[in-house]
Amino acid sequence: MKDKYKERGVSSDKEDVHNAIKNVNKGIFPNAFCKIIPDMFGGDENYCNIVHADGAGTKTALAYLYWKETGDLSVWKGVIQDSIVMNLDDMLCVGADSVPLLLSGTIGRNKHLIPGEIISEIINGTEEFLEKMRSLGIEMYSTGGETADLGDLVRTIVIDNTLSCRILRKDVVKVNIQPGDFIVGLASFGQATYESAYNAGMGSNGLTSARHDMFCKWYMEKFPEAFDPKTNPEVIYCGPYLISDTIPDKYFMGHNYTAPENVGKLVLSPTRTYAPIIREVLDKLNRSMINGIIHCSGGGQTKVMQPEFVKNVHIIKDNMFALPPLFQMIQEESQTSWQEMYKVFNMGHRMELYVPTQKMADIIIEIASSFDVEAKVIGHVETYKGEKLTIKSEYGKFIY
């Protein structure tokens, strides 16, 4: 299966990126989830700055196909949410929950394929999402951005954002995972009080695999702009579904929520933000006692195993959430090994908090529940000579 990922030009390990940055300065808090630098904006030694860049990745390619097949422009509002949340939720992990956050966006498009109405939808969607976040107590403001016509470089469209803020150094949450910690997972699926529909839990990682393994060869033939022509055609759009196909009943039998109207909307569920939950958690708990907040994005459930985060500990995740239907569908169609699935996808929770006491865990769970987000203790940490992650799931035991 790793060969299939490589043939598609992607990597769950991002080994090339890690090798490229291994000698780059890690900032003033090397064990923080995001790079943090001195207060260049204000020159105050009590403060620090965070400037964070991320995007929606190849989810834009699937959004493009959805729009072409259905004519539904609203899909682009979900993709701009993906791009923003991938920044926002990373920054939540270091405690940037209650300070003004400034957003700058970059759109690179092929003008021959992406008309102005899509750009308008993205820009308007940005403002709507920021307004919604402000209504939930998260101060986010747009500072503008750049839209570039890059037809010689971009096949369809790329949507990226940069988020910046200035916070007190004493408020920074660092990653200092300790033996005895309880691991609280926040579900990536369901419908939070601040969401308008069921969220399948996709996030913005693993989309290259998901779209090619879920959707059929018709897209390769109809929309050659939606993939790299140098890629082996055997691994391009090799699934059974059209975007507009109804989700088979078997996947949602026994669940308490209604399936989205089609397979496309299932995979394109906008990346959930945990901002309202984390803001309340950091308000009620002593943030200096939180031993880590991990956004399970690139690397899925192995994200915590960054060398800056773990030292002489065994992370044991042995009470995972029941697998959401989306990830069950992806695994069945792709035949990806379960060990690799947990490394590529979040598999049910995309945010986890490491805390030293059951009482703190209970408070986090109660706060998440008040927003209709399922949360529970999904594991614990033990002493170990070296660094080890064990995942015990309904599909086997996996060691990383």
Q: What's residue 167's pLDDT?
A: 97
Residues 360-376: tens digit of each pLDDT:
999 999 999 999 999 99
Distance CA(73)–CA(313), nearest Å, equals 47
Residues 51-84: tens digit of each pLDDT:
999 999 999 999 999 999 999 999 999 999 999 9
Task: Give the count of beta carbons closer than 10 Å to the beta carbon of residue 72.
Answer: 12
Predicted confidence (pLDDT) at residue 171 exceeds the cutoff of 60: yes
Q: What's residue 87's pLDDT?
A: 98
Q: Provide the β-strand partners of residue 142.
A: 103
Predicted confidence (pLDDT) at residue 271 exceeds the cutoff of 90: yes
Q: What's residue 190's pLDDT?
A: 97
Q: What's residue 37's pLDDT?
A: 98
User: Mean pLDDT of all residues in the chain?
Assistant: 94
What DSSP element (H or E) covers 87? helix 75-92
* DSSP type of residue 304: G
- Cβ distance 352 to 185 under 8 Å? yes
Least confident residue range of 13-27, 41-55, 268-282: 13-27
Predicted confidence (pLDDT) at residue 2 exceeds the cutoff of 60: no
- Using the Cα atoms of residue 227, residue 229, residue 232 and residue 233 in order, give the sign of their dihedral: positive
Return the beta strands (E) in the chain as ranges. Answer: 37-38, 47-55, 101-109, 140-149, 157-168, 182-187, 292-295, 313-317, 349-355, 375-383, 387-393, 396-399
Q: What percent of the chain has pLDDT over 70?
A: 95
- Cβ distance 354 to 276 under 8 Å? no
Print burial letters for 253-289: b (CB count within 10 Å at least 16), e (below 16). eeeeeebbebbbbbbbbbbbbbbbbbbbbbeebebee
Q: Using CB atoms within 10 A of its CB, is residue 234 exposed (0-12), middle (13-18) or buried (19+)?
A: exposed
Residues 317-362: tens digit of each pLDDT:
999 999 999 999 999 999 999 999 999 999 999 999 999 999 999 9
The band of 21, judged by pLDDT with boundaries at 50, 70 and 90, is low
- Mean pLDDT calculated for residue range 164-187: 98
Angle, CA 273 vertex, CA 268 and CA 278 arms, to 5°? 160
Residues 187-242: tens digit of each pLDDT:
999 999 999 999 999 999 999 999 999 999 999 999 999 999 999 999 999 999 99
* Spatial CB neighbours of 206, under 8 Å, sequence gap ≥ 6: 12, 300, 330, 344, 345
CA dihedral 204, 205, 207, 210 (to 10 degrees): -120
Nearest of 83, 390, 102 to residue 207 by alpha carbon: 83
- Cβ distance 236 to 227 under 8 Å? yes
- Cβ distance 269 to 199 under 8 Å? yes
Task: Give the count of beta carbons closer than 10 Å to the beta carbon of residue 82.
Answer: 26
Tokens 């300790």 sit at which residue? 178
Q: What percent of the chain has pLDDT over 90?
A: 92
Predicted confidence (pLDDT) at residue 7 exceeds the cutoff of 80: no
Which amino acid, one-letter code, is at 246? T
Distance CA(252)–CA(255), nearest Å, equals 5
**What architecture does CATH give domain 2-195+268-399?**
2-Layer Sandwich (3.30)
Q: What's residue 258's pLDDT?
A: 87
- Mean pLDDT calculated for residue range 144-169: 97
Q: What's residue 18's pLDDT?
A: 54
The band of 4, judged by pLDDT with boundaries at 50, 70 and 90, is low
Longest dimension (CA), the chain: 59
Predicted confidence (pLDDT) at residue 19 exceeds the cutoff of 80: no
Residues 95-105: tens digit of each pLDDT:
999 999 999 99
